[in-house]
Structure 1
Amino acid sequence: MDRVASSPRVLTAEEKQELRRDMAESSAWAKTELKRRRTAKDQKNSAHGIEDGIEKSQFSN
């Protein structure tokens, strides 16, 4: 296996800012997608009469 030996370069302030922005966008997308999938799964289970098996009244905040 060939490996190129090079030292990593330091990101510029602009590159760091762009990376942070990209990571924030990715995180927001992932949260939205997970919420969408959870909702779709819950609706599918509800349509089939399937519950999660956890009694909601047992928990209090």
Structure 2
Amino acid sequence: MKCYIKIKLDHGAEKSASRSHSAGMSDPAVRWLTLEERQGLRTDMAESSAWAKAELKRRRDAKNQKNSAYGIDDGIEKGGISN
């Protein structure tokens, strides 16, 4: 399976490029990331994931707080097995 990406060339035109080296391309439009770039990307992704989880929890808690103020719940019993 080939992985295709779109890249922007210097003059602004877009071009599709394959991750594998094409026979007609003398200079590949994509390159492998260096070890440092991969580590930086992993760190950034971990930070983004942690932020997203915290944000979803904050929104869920705010929604539950609002619903409990009006006596609204989701109708699902918690802590037990339903029959």
TM-score by shorter chain over 0.5: yes
Indicate whether 1:40 and 2:70 are aligned.
Answer: no
Higher helix share: 1
Q: Corresponding residue for 1:59? A: 81
| Runs of 4+ with deviation above 3 angstroms | none
Equivalenced residue count is 59
Segments of 5+ residues of structure 2 without an aligned counterpart are 1-12, 18-27
Say which one has the larger Rg: 2
Q: Deviation at 1:55?
A: 2.0
Q: Which has the higher strand share?
A: 2
**2:67 is matched by which residue type in structure 1?**
N
- Post-superposition offset of 1:54: 1.0
CA distance in 2, matches of 1:56, 1:3: 52
Identity among equivalent positions (%) equals: 68
Structure with higher RCO (Cα < 8 A, 6+ apart): 2
* 2:71 paired with 1:49: yes
CA root-mean-square deviation: 1.9
TM-score w.r.t. length of structure 2:
0.62
TM-score calculated relative to the size of structure 1: 0.83
